[in-house]
Amino acid sequence: MKKRLSKLKSPADCRYPLKQITKAVVPAAGLGTRFLPATKAQPKEMLPIYDKPAIQYVIEEAVAAGIRDILVVTGRGKQAIENHFDRSIELEENLKSQGKRIALQTVREISDMVNLHYVRQKEARGLGHAVLCAKSFVGNEPFAVFLGDDIIDHPRPAIMQLMKIWEKYQAPVLAVEEIPRARTKAYGIIKPEVISNRLYKVLDLIEKPSSSQAPSRLGIVGRYLLTPDIFGFLEKTRPGTSGEIQLTDALRRLNRCHPVYAWQFEGRRHDIGNKLEFVKATLAYALKDKSAREPLLNYLRDITSS
Ligand code: UTP
């Protein structure tokens, strides 16, 4: 193992010397238990954030960053995701005959956006297991992972910010965010060594530590750039106390023999699997729409003043 680490010291020695990352994996097979009953029969990734399902924001971020092939990891009850990105000939014919050109263009753009592939995670055995389902799709290339329920809003997409770090170090990069100490139990937390503003070398990672055991307040959130090395570690990772195979546990092992970096991204993140964050995201995106902004602000003033 030590030998491999020394071999990977400089970017030029990278075993995956790809200039551009073109593949992404979007795990979207979770059960969404925090958002029941809304998610009993519909995927949380399909909940609308103003006028688009959450997962469309994620796919659009990937496309904006030059990703060409995306594998969505789905599961039972997630067919709505495939239907959304598929063509809907009947709907298109209907819009065409009614002369609704803008709506027609919008639905066509959704199905033409990118090459989408699907794999089913037969049981929701955790995020790590969902990523492992992408092993044959990924092959021998570095790849991006986007969590289907994490939307990050910034003019420079979060994944592009991570790609900049990849270009320099050619090593896995995790997106991190400073979270309140009381919330460390909900995140994988890194032990960081500061390299420069927002950039850290990961010294260790701990899945869901208590606030007293957390080595920092930097929590791993829904964007990753990984190398295929992760699959060997995922295969060896046993389920944790929750019964799930955790990506953080495999990353921890990977980090013992390969350098891993963390980037504190610029942007506003919404974990739409959380009810309050979902409402905030819906409001934030609605307020961006010029035609909705004033009436919405008036409505908010009205309901909050009484
Ligand atoms: P979460 O832990 O937020 O999703 O996983 P969850 O398990 O659906 O939610 P709760 O906690 O029960 O409310 C983050 C992402 O990983 C996917 C989820 O769909 C989500 O987009 N995931 C999670 C999988 O694809 N498979 C799993 O087994 C678990």
- The tens digit of pLDDT for each residue in 75-86 reads 998 999 999 999
| Nearest-angstrom CA–CA distance, 162 and 199 | 10
CB of 125 within 6 A of ligand 1: the answer is: yes
Range of the domain at 171: 23-305
Taking only the tens place, the pLDDT of each residue in 158-167 is: 999 999 999 9
Tell me if 9 is assigned to some domain: no
HEC letters along the chain: CHHHHHHCCCHHHCCCCCCCCCEEEEECCCCCHHHCCCCCCCCHHHCEECCEEHHHHHHHHHHHCCCCEEEEEECCCCHHHHHHHCCCHHHHHHHHHCCCHHHHHHHHHHHHCCEEEEEECCCCCCHHHHHHCCHHHHCCCCEEEECCCEEEECCCCHHHHHHHHHHHHCCCEEEEEECCHHHHHHCEEEEEEEEECCEEEEEEEEECCCCCCCCCCEEEEEEEEECCHHHHHHHHCCCCCCCCCCHHHHHHHHHHHCCCEEEECCCEEEECCCHHHHHHHHHHHHHHCHHHHHHHHHHHHHHHHC
**Atom 22 of ligand 1, nearest CA residue:** 30
Cα separation, 96 vs 130, in Å, equals 39
1 occurs within a structural domain: no
pLDDT in tens, 100-121: 999 999 999 898 888 999 999 9
74, part of any domain: yes
Is residue 7 in a domain?
no
Cβ partners under 8 Å of residue 167, min gap 6: 19
Number of domains in the chain: 1
Do the domain assignments include residue 49? yes
Does any ligand 1 atom lie closer than 6 A to the CB of residue 31? Answer: yes
pLDDT digits (tens, 9 = 90+) for 112-150: 888 999 999 999 999 999 999 999 999 999 999 999 899
Distance (angstroms) between ligand 1 centre and the Cα of 120 equals 14
Assess if residue 6 is contained within a domain.
no
pLDDT at 240: 83
* pLDDT at 66 > cutoff 90: yes
Distance 31 CA to ligand 1 centre (A): 6
Q: What is the CATH number of the domain that holds 122?
A: 3.90.550.10
Q: How far is the CA of 277 from the centre of ligand 1 (A)?
A: 16
- Vertex 21: Cα angle to 17 and 26 (nearest 5): 135
Q: Is the CB of 186 under 6 A from ligand 1?
A: no
Mean pLDDT of 170-187: 96
Note the pLDDT tens digit of each residue in 18-65. Answer: 668 999 999 999 999 999 999 999 999 999 999 999 999 999 999 999
Task: Using the mean position of ligand 1's atoms as its centre, give its distance from the Cα of residue 148 in Å.
Answer: 8
10 in any annotated domain: no
Give a yes or no: residue 192 inside a domain: yes
33 in contact with ligand 1, CB cutoff 6 A: yes
Distance 62 CA to ligand 1 centre (A): 19
124 lines ligand 1 (CB under 6 A): yes
